[in-house]
Every structure is written in structure tokens, then in C-alpha cells.
Structure 1
Amino acid sequence: MPGPLEGVRVLEFTEIIAGPVGGMFLADFGADVIKIEPPWGDPWRSTSPGQAGGPNESRGFIAVNRGKRSIRVDLTKPGGKSVVHKLVESADVIVLNHRPDVPAKLGIDYETLSAINPRIIYCEVTAYGRMGPNRELPGYDVIVQAMTGMMTSEGHDVDGLPRSVNVSPVSDMAAGYAIMMSVSAALYYRERTGKGQKIENSLLQNSLRMQQSSLTQLDDYPTPRQAWRAEDLPALKEAGVGFSDIYSAYREKRNNPEFAAYYQPYETSDWVISIGCLSNPLRQKMANALGVDDIRFEPGYDRESPESIKFAENLILTYRKVFLGKTTDEWMTILNDAGVPCGPMRFIEEMVYDEQALANGMIVETTHSIAGNTRGPGPLSNMSESPMEITRGAPAFGEHTNEILQEAGYSAAEVEALKGNEDVF
């Protein structure tokens, strides 16, 4: 597919979400991505929600594997290893996300593949990184969200227990972005130096980066929750206090709700509108537009005073009442005229036909050879000199085995021999 990475060939040994998303982004930017699957296929083909095109063509798989070609290879057999090593000779990038012990067993570890092609860029995603006590453990997004505090910070609870951010597997998606960015940087480095390299990334690393603000600690100026972690949490655990009580104490140690009223959704007379004011000039514009007197804009305002904190909490209730007095469209007109950032609440399913998204190429159509016409998010960027055009849908199970092998120099007879020996499928 056209794009700034046109001519770059990627061999992808990935499954489920994180690795496939990274490969999909590289394909969106123009790379030729070959998904090398085991005989049984990527488990996400059959275990993710929505069997749209048969037992091996799930909606979840189609969503994160757009733009690739698929070949099925048995890496446990010498013939399968030989095929992959031949493909590596002309490849630029390797992407994989197996447990740390798996690549060497399959003959696709960095040491083996870089010996075949020293210019190879080898990008590996693990759950927790190559060092440390958890380095050999398997892991998934829901586990990493729990381990990094994303769940307890989110405040989405069911029956008293934190639940994951489930609109999207945050750590997996972030790892996909990291793959694309890291590989692109490594390609640029190779362009300047001629050297390939190994890239290591992890779900843990990306889950932490997605919580950049909360994780940042100024040692001399701790947040209420950081102080609680250092002073109260160890004592509570030592005393055997249960999780639910500790979690409640943690939730109470929130930051000052100073300007929460200006950054949240409100119900209107007919729907819901969301407001986003992250500066005092914008907050002042909103207060003026709604005819509300906010004492925090007065000279001498003390943000930490009990009066100010109480006012901040009550202000949300005030705005809730005011917003109920008009329709969403009426508020959109009033707030847009006042220069206040706002937007109506929608469901994600509506966005497939959203006028704004369509006007900017944010929704594209592709064709799956079994499931048919597919709509989904467009490329991450629009580029003037190297425009991207997504023309290929997700691959059917082993759809391109013959095509890929013939491109690699295998004759039709040799391809049939490999299939007969079940080295490839």
C-alpha cells in the first residue's frame, strides 16, 4: 500500500492485540506486512468476539490485522524454519510478541535472525520486559492494568472491585503505537548508519506511560495519594486491613476538585453535552455564558481554603441544574459562540457514518475476502508528500501462502512439496 514506508517489508510473528496493532499501523504507513501464523492460526481469529466470516475470521481479528498478508508456517519443523529464514533474508523488520522463552525455541530469536540479516530491525513486545522477577511470565492487558494501578485510579467499580478500562485494551493499543514509532525511528537510524538493531517493549512499560501525569512524582511536593501511599498504605497492609477498606481510603485521597465542573459531561433537556475547559480564560468564558458567578476568579482567591473546596463541589450541582434548561443544540450554539470547547455525547457505533470523521478520511472501507465490506478507522495521519491509502483488508486464514512463497523464489512444485510435508499450509 502507498505511504512513507512503501518498500519496507515486515515479518510479523504476533497474536491477539498488541503485536498485531503495531503491524497494522506499519501497514497503514505503507509497509508490506506478512503475518506468519502457526498452523492453527492467531488465536484471536477464533477466540475474540464476533465470528463475522466463519470460525477463523472473527471481528476482533479483522479489526487489528488490516493491510497484511497471511502465511501459515509450522516453525516446529525444519522445513518451516527454512522458509522463514529465507523470508528473513529480504525483510527489513521483525515484529513479535511471544513469551520471552518462545522465540529461541522456534528459531526466530534476535541472535538467529540477525545472523541471517544483520540489517534487520527486530521489535519484540513482552508483558513485563526482559529483566526483573516477572520477565518470564505471560501477561495480558487486564493484568497489567491491575498491576500498574490503572484500575484503581479509573474509579470504574463493579460490586466494590475495580474494573479495567474496557472501551479499548489500553496497554495493548499503546504498545502497538510504540511498535510503530520505535520501528520508524530504527529505520531512520539504519538509513544513517546501515545498522539494524533490537527493540524491546512491553505492556508494563506502555501502561506506565499512559499514566504519565499520575506517575510523575515531585519528591518535595507529593500529591495526597502519593503521601498516602508512603505514610498510610504500608500500615494498613501490615494491620491486615481488607482491600475494600483500603480502596475506599485511597479513593478519598483525591486531588482538590478545583475545576472539575469545567471538565465533564452534563445532561441537557434532551441529551448530554461534554465540556472541556483546561485554562482559566476558558472557564471564565463558560461561567459567563451560563450566567454563573464563580468566586475562584475573584482577586485573593485561596484555592485550598475549605470555602473554595466546598464551592467547587457545589458548583457541579449548579451547572447540572443550568444545563437541564436547554437542549444540546441550544447549548452547542451558545457555548461555541462564547468560545467554549464542547461536544455532544455519542456512541462509538455512530462514528462509522460521522460527517466530520468521513470528511477527514478518518473512516475507511476495505474488503475482506470472506467477511465482505469492512469499515473502520483510517490512518493515524494525513501526509502531504507521502499520502497513505488503505487498500487491503485483513487477511483470511493463510490467504497468501502461495503468493508469498513464489515471491521468495519457490517454484510451484516446491510450494506443493512444502504443503505436502505440512511445513506450510
Structure 2
Amino acid sequence: MNTDRPGQPDDTGSGLRRGPLAGIIVLDITRVVAGPYCAQMLADLGATVIKVENPSDPDYARSFPPFAGDDPKSAFFAQFNRNKQGITLDLKFEEGRALLRALVKKAHVLIENFRPGTMEKLGVGYEVLAQDNPALVYTAISGFGRTGPNSSRPAYDNTGQAAGGLWSMNGYADRPPVRVGTIIGDLSASLYAAFGTLAALREAERTGRGQVVDVSQQDSVLSLTENAVVRYTLENDVAGPLGNDHPFVRPYGQFPCKDGHVFFGGYTDKFWRISCQIFGTPELATDPEIDTMEKRFSDAVYTRRILPILDQWFMPHTKAALEEMAGDRVPLTAVKTIAEVVEDPHIAARDMIVQVPVGGQPVRMFGNPVKLSGLGLPIMTGAPDTGADNAAVYGALLGLDAAEVDRLRAAGVL
């Protein structure tokens, strides 16, 4: 048994999991992040999520650092697979495919992130599984989606960042583009997949018919490019790297202070006027050269007048002092390190750092940003060991006894 999950009820049949998705059974046939994170969010909200891994080729994110405990476990893996149960199943075996189809009859959702066509080649694509469960919501996450000329191409997170246009917009104008400093392709696809899954579940509850939720990393990244598409389609303006600047409002960006940097977004006339008062220069609010948004945006005026004013305002003060002085009245926020964010009292008040057992010890990791007034903070259980819940899940859902589970394991099916 997985010691990271003490006292965890067998929620496949007991109904003891709490939350708005309690009673929803999700088969999670995904690996790494684009997929596991989608399923983890559903698990946080009460769904019974069963992580299905190939016994001879389990999720290789289990090998990603950092590790915790005397019997080291991946905290990276746990962050995206907490609150799940774990089983093994090899779909290359006929018995393995039969078991998946039997599980699908008991499930509401199946999530996979194989390259399009893989499940069909294995004989367990949506059309086949829908025969077993017409209400099944089949969520498929891939680099380029299930349709279109590029659908069969392999992809990673950086594929989505590159193909979706975001990479070309990030960085500084006088340097090559820079990838976003996190796996935004994987994460955004997971978020959209969770949203689409819930919409399809609602439709399945209403009509009794499931459907495919088709989410691509490229599509997901493209939707994060803010004004870039309409700037191009209306004005033929191709967005490029702007550093910390903004294409049409100023000041709105990162500015230095005594011990680091702050974000300041005082570009409206209202916030500019308030800022002038806060920093002891009220006369600047009515200075005829910089008294409107349009005037302050001018390249020449911004460089000659506005940037020196911001240096005068910010450089004598620390990030914390500036937030104390102005943060309640204008958009001014410290540019925080991850260490500062994790220790932020506001983050603590929002329950955004939770303790999850990893390798037998509690590890702090990010929580769920969705706050439901009727839910409260869910109990966090650790990620399952590979196949840790074979006996419990196959017994509860399919009625297999211990001897049959052992036989299937010995045959390599589990």
C-alpha cells in the first residue's frame, strides 16, 4: 500500500469523497503534466480519479525532481497526481483492452494525452468505448488536436508555445524571443480540458450522450495571446517581444526600486493623479505635457519625462514599503520571487499552499485556485504508487478477486 495516503477511503464504491464532483469516476490515462493536471483538478473537486499506467512503462514524471522521503518519491509527480488512485493496465494485451472497456462501463470520463490515433490503433478509441458507455466523456489532449493537417505530429509544451505564437512575443525587442518561464502549453491545455470536460459532463447528464473533448496545446496557447490576433487581422501589425512594456498603455510594467522591482500600472488619468499625490508630486497630475494617457504614452515623452519620475518615486523605497504606501490605492505590486510568494500571508489565507504527503513526509505545494463556498479545503492525499490500488479498484468496480488480480499481474496485463 502507498503510505502517502493513510486512512484514504476506498472511494470507488464508498461515496466518501467530498465535493461537487463526488460520485464522478474519471479514468486518467495520461502522463507528465498535460492531462495529469486536468485530472488532478477534478480530483481536488471530489471526483474519483483512477490513474491508469502501463506496468512496464509507468508515467516517467515519477523520475522528475525534487524528491522527498527516505524512500524518495517525486514531489513534481505528486503535485499533479495527488488525490488519485493508481492502477496498472497494459493495453497491448487483449485482456488489458477488455479490462479498460469494462472500466469504461463504470466511468463517466476518460482522459488521454496520446498522439491522435494511438487509442484507435490499440482498438480502444472513442467510437469503440462509446459503444460500451454512450454517456462517456472522452477528453483528448494533444499538441495539435484531433483534426487538421498537423494533428499527427508529436508535441511537447515548447511545441505549443512555439506553434501558438506566444514564444515569438516573449522577451525583448532587441534579442531573440524567449519561452515563457513555465510549461504554459501543458498547463493551459489542462485547464481548458477540465473546463471542457465539465461542460460535456453537464450535457451527458442532460441528454445521456457523451462526446469527445478535443483540446490542443497550440489552440490553448493561441488563446492566451491577448490582443495579438486582432492587431494582425485588423492592422497587419505582427506582435513581437516587448519586454516589460505594453503595446498601448504606459506606465504599465516592471520598474526598479531599492531592493528589486515592482509592477506599476498607473496609466489611467485617475491612477496617475492618485500616484502623484501618494509620492508627493501632486503638481505632475496637471503638468500640461503629461496630464493625459495619450501624452504619457508618447515614446519621446515617456522616455524623457515618465521614466525619470518613476525612478524618483520608486528607487528610494523597498518593494514592501512601496506596497505599503501605494498598493491599496493604485495597481502597484512587488515582483515577488517564488520564495516570497510561498511565504506570502495572503497566499496562506487563500489556502494556495497545501501540504501533501510525499515519500512519507509533508511537502508544501500549490493548491487549487478554484474556491467554492460550499467545499472548504479538501483533504490532500498523496499520489499513488504504480498500481497501488489494483486490488481495491478492480475489486470494487469489476468484482475481481485477489487471485484474479494476481494472475493478471503475473501475466503482465496489470
Query: TM-score scaled by structure 2?
Result: 0.86
SS in 1 for 2:100: helix
The reply on whether 1:143 has 2:133 as its aligned counterpart is no
Between stretches 95-104 and 60-69, larger displacement belongs to: 60-69
Match of 2:373 in 1: 384
Q: From the superposition, tell whether residues 160 and 301 of structure 1 become closer, same or farther in structure 2 (CA, over 3 Å).
A: closer
The reply on whether 1:222 has 2:211 as its aligned counterpart is no
Check whether the contact 1:57–1:397 (CA below 8 A) recurs between aligned residues. no
Alignment partner of 1:402 out of 385, 391, 396: 391
* 1:24-173 matched pairs, under 5 angstroms: 24-39=40-55, 40-46=57-63, 48-52=64-68, 57-155=73-171, 160-166=175-181, 168-173=182-187
Q: From the superposition, tell whether residues 418 and 256 of structure 1 become closer, same or farther in structure 2 (CA, over 3 Å).
A: closer
SS in 2 for 1:272: strand
Check whether the contact 1:70–1:400 (CA below 8 A) recurs between aligned residues. yes
Match of 1:348 in 2: 338
Letter paired with 2:22: E
Kindly report the root-mean-square deviation, in angstroms, between the aligned alpha carbons of the 2 structures.
3.0
Between stretches 36-45 and 292-301, larger displacement belongs to: 292-301
Check whether the contact 2:161–2:185 (CA below 8 A) recurs between aligned residues. yes
Check whether the contact 2:185–2:220 (CA below 8 A) recurs between aligned residues. yes
Alpha-carbon offset, residue 280 of structure 1: 3.0
Q: Deviations over 1:301-354 (max 9, x none)?
A: 69389x9331112312331233112333432332146x1122223221333332
Letter paired with 1:102: T
Check whether the contact 2:137–2:197 (CA below 8 A) recurs between aligned residues. yes
Between stretches 296-305 and 271-280, larger displacement belongs to: 296-305
SS in 1 for 2:298: helix
SS in 2 for 1:407: helix
Check whether the contact 2:169–2:242 (CA below 8 A) recurs between aligned residues. no
Alpha-carbon offset, residue 10 of structure 1: 0.1
* 1:169-248 matched pairs, under 5 angstroms: 169-217=183-231, 219=233, 221-222=234-235, 224-225=237-238
The reply on whether 1:334 has 2:350 as its aligned counterpart is no
Distance in 2 separating the partners of 1:42 and 1:313: 51
Distance in 2 separating the partners of 1:224 and 1:254: 19
Q: Deviations over 1:139-194 (max 9, x none)?
A: 1111221222211211169x95323112x211111111111111111111122212
Give aligned-pair identity as a percent. Answer: 28
Match of 1:241 in 2: none
Q: From the superposition, tell whether residues 30 and 254 of structure 1 become closer, same or farther in structure 2 (CA, over 3 Å).
A: closer
Distance in 1 separating the partners of 2:244 and 2:354: 41
Q: From the superposition, tell whether residues 260 and 185 of structure 1 become closer, same or farther in structure 2 (CA, over 3 Å).
A: same
Alignment partner of 1:260 out of 233, 236, 250: 250
Check whether the contact 1:11–1:36 (CA below 8 A) recurs between aligned residues. yes
Distance in 2 separating the partners of 1:130 and 1:375: 37
Structure 1: unaligned runs, 5 residues or longer: 227-249
The reply on whether 1:372 has 2:361 as its aligned counterpart is yes
Q: Deviations over 1:83-115 (max 9, x none)?
A: 212111100001011001211122331011111
Distance in 2 separating the partners of 1:400 and 1:297: 71
Q: From the superposition, tell whether residues 268 and 304 of structure 1 become closer, same or farther in structure 2 (CA, over 3 Å).
A: closer
Distance in 2 separating the partners of 1:202 and 1:98: 11
Check whether the contact 1:126–1:203 (CA below 8 A) recurs between aligned residues. yes
Distance in 1 separating the partners of 2:143 and 2:361: 34
Match of 1:238 in 2: none
Alpha-carbon offset, residue 136 of structure 1: 0.6
Distance in 2 separating the partners of 1:308 and 1:342: 22
Match of 1:359 in 2: 349
Letter paired with 1:164: R
Q: From the superposition, tell whether residues 286 and 423 of structure 1 become closer, same or farther in structure 2 (CA, over 3 Å).
A: same
Q: From the superposition, tell whether residues 391 and 363 of structure 1 become closer, same or farther in structure 2 (CA, over 3 Å).
A: same
Q: From the superposition, tell whether residues 54 and 169 of structure 1 become closer, same or farther in structure 2 (CA, over 3 Å).
A: farther
Distance in 2 separating the partners of 1:181 and 1:297: 49
* 1:274-289 matched pairs, under 5 angstroms: 274-277=263-266, 279-289=268-278
Letter paired with 2:99: V
Structure 2: unaligned runs, 5 residues or longer: 1-16
Distance in 1 separating the partners of 2:116 and 2:250: 43
Q: Deviations over 1:166-225 (max 9, x none)?
A: 2x2111111111111111111111222121111111101101111132222475x41643
Check whether the contact 1:10–1:34 (CA below 8 A) recurs between aligned residues. yes
User: What is the aligned length?
Assistant: 393
Distance in 2 separating the partners of 1:214 and 1:282: 26
Distance in 2 separating the partners of 1:194 and 1:58: 39
Q: From the superposition, tell whether residues 274 and 55 of structure 1 become closer, same or farther in structure 2 (CA, over 3 Å).
A: same
Letter paired with 2:52: I
Distance in 1 separating the partners of 2:218 and 2:70: 34
Check whether the contact 2:172–2:241 (CA below 8 A) recurs between aligned residues. no
Match of 2:14 in 1: none
Distance in 2 separating the partners of 1:253 and 1:80: 51
Q: From the superposition, tell whether residues 102 and 271 of structure 1 become closer, same or farther in structure 2 (CA, over 3 Å).
A: same
Alignment partner of 1:415 out of 384, 393, 405: 405
Distance in 2 separating the partners of 1:161 and 1:19: 31
SS in 2 for 1:331: helix
Distance in 1 separating the partners of 2:292 and 2:250: 17
Distance in 1 separating the partners of 2:69 and 2:114: 26
Distance in 2 separating the partners of 1:154 and 1:86: 47
Check whether the contact 2:170–2:243 (CA below 8 A) recurs between aligned residues. no
